Amino acid sequence: MTLKFGIAQLNPLIGDLVGNCDRLLAAVQKLAANGVQLVLTPELSVCGYPPRDLLMNHQFVSDMDSAIAGLALKLPHDVAVLVGTVSVNPQANQVGGKQLFNSAALLQDGKVQQIFLKRLLPTYDVFDEDRYFEAGEGSQVFTLKLPEQGALRVGVTICEDIWNDEKFWGKRNYADDPVSELAQKEVDLLVNLSASPYAVGKQKLRESMLSHSAIVHNLPLLYANQVGANDDLIFDGRSMAFNRIGEIVARGKSFDEDLLVIDFEQVGQSPNLSSYESDDAEIFAALVLGVRDYVQKCRFRKVVIGLSGGIDSALVAAIATEAIGKENVLGVLMPSPYSSDHSVTDAIALAKNLGITTETIPIQPMMAAFDQSLAHLFAGRASDVTEENLQSRIRGSLLMAISNKFGHLLISTGNKSEVSVGYCTLYGDMNGGLAAIADVPKTRVFSICEWLNRTNSPLAIKQVVAEVIPVNIITKPPSAELKPDQVDQDSLPPYDILDDILHKLINLHLSATEIVAAGHDQATVYRVVRLVKIAEFKRRQAAPGLKITDRAFGSGWRMPIASKVTP
């Protein structure tokens, strides 16, 4: 009998213990029908990752224990299943440790056979595990009894436990290296339950690191990663199996649930290729998943988007159409006296290409009403950015009214370049329940739109028309159109310069002096640094933004509002 392993790459709903366990059960039953003897699931697969402060609810933790016990009774008894969960730290009150462990439970023969504890707790970027969990200690090994093949010693790691190989990184972030310790215990197989968030380019690094672990320790390795989007975080799946010489013998789908059956003895397995033709294609797929899951998991059916005729709202509309279908997307045009004719015609052309419904609401009457109401108070003062922002806030109020009346999710359309420097209006264009492209720089917005028009991939929106984004939207100068003949470059550096400065400042953590030394104009750099700093209060009030880079304005960004920072 050939030994087979299974990986259940699942998309959990955080807090849905019953639903998640039902999905786990269905997945294991399908894998069992394919003859697997051990099934691996993602980190915290019972409750979904990250549960955050739900873990402070004692009843929630207790219900998780009950859910696992019930799941164990329903699972096929001849299959061993590792599920991600939490377990109570019995010594917390005596030694002052955290109340919980991030754990994996081995379910077999109708009960919980063994518990394994995560040892390395990340506290960087979006991770805050030390807030909830105590670091585990001791052996993380179990013996899988196989009637015909004897026994298999399995070493269990959870996510971060496998990311501390000094030989691969050239350094250690933690004193312990759980994988090396397991290898010294003469295990036959390494497994890793993971919930590793997506960032563009991260998959190549993951594959290299995991392959290195398999080669260095001469051990086959199973890696189960969560898929799906939870709030601002997107998980790309791409679960993998490596043989002992570091070759990938199985790979899960990207941005979709999948069940993998792994037979290390089978020659010539052809793993699913999860690579994309470009970073633009991968980012688009990630954002589609992010929007779809946010809409569905927050129990919306339809979305509303303000269509300006510009490239940002065009990309967001395309993402939403691909994510939830053209019949569920409403585009709203809100022209003002400053709106150019092409803004309206371009927005209508985009909507026609996507097949989405539109409504048009001119805002000139509301602008006049505001001017009249404020005339006495503002008497003697020239028009300035105040009146420009009023236009944006009128539009934001109209969109929120539509959202409230019909129960649609409002998706805001600001990109990372604008959000970084505050080129956006609080309670105006920042209104919304989700910021779909808040981690996408403006130059990348252009790049993705150009890819959309030339790709031959089987996107649903490409089945409507060959040209998704009208060419004029891509080629015309970006403009907020809040005053006559306005373009973005009246207020900002050219986007290729701005985005490079922002990348160095935000993603590479360089100082203004270092950015200037890299070749940028000092005055421009100092101005951008100042704008990023003073816009912090706006970002704190923004809608959740989908994370697609290794440094996003979301749960991993923790900057003070009131501070003194000089370039």
b/e for 427-459, b at 16 or more Cβ within 10 A?
Answer: ebbbbbbbbbbbbbbbbbbbbbbebbbebeeeb
Phi-psi region of 434 (alpha: psi -120 to 50; beta: other; left: phi over 0): beta
State both tokens at 223: 């890696």
Q: What is the DSSP string of 240-305?
A: EEE-TTS-EEEEPPBSS-EEEEE-TT-TT--PPP---SSHHHHHHHHHHHHHHHHHHHTT---EEE
HEC assignment per residue over 200-247: CCHHHHHHHHHHHHHHHHCCCEEEEECEEEECCEEEEECCEEECCCCC
State both tokens at 165: 């190989």
Is 43 known to be catalytic? yes
* Identity at 448, one-letter amino acid code: I
- Rounded Cα distance, 378 and 438, in Å: 34
* Identity at 194, one-letter amino acid code: S
How far out from the chain centre does Cα 549 lie? 9
Is 118 known to be catalytic? yes
User: CB of 445 within 8 A of CB of 281?
Assistant: no
Nearest to 228 by CA among 252, 254, 207, 261: 254
Nearest to 464 by CA among 472, 452, 475, 476: 452
State both tokens at 540: 């704190």
Q: Which residues are within 8 A (CB) of 447 and not within 5 positions of it... i.e. 6 or more apart?
A: 280
b/e for 190-208, b at 16 or more Cβ within 10 A?
Answer: bbbbbbbbbbbeebeebbe
- Rounded Cα distance, 125 and 200, in Å: 15
- Tell how strand 221-225 and strand 227-230 pair up: unpaired
Q: What's 503's DSSP letter?
A: I
From the candidates 21, 47, 159, 424, give the one annotated as an active-site residue: 159
- Rounded Cα distance, 551 and 557, in Å: 8
User: CB of 25 within 8 A of CB of 74?
Assistant: yes
Is 442 known to be catalytic? no
State both tokens at 298: 């927050």
From the candidates 43, 160, 322, 481, give the one annotated as an active-site residue: 43
Neighbour order of strands in the sheet with 221-225: 141-146, 150-158, 189-194, 221-225, 240-242, 248-251
From the candidates 118, 297, 442, 504, give the one annotated as an active-site residue: 118
- Rounded Cα distance, 297 and 444, in Å: 27
User: What phi and psi, each to the nearest 5 degrees, are found at residue 293?
Assistant: -70, -40
The number of residues in the chain equals 567
The residues that are catalytic are 43, 118, 159
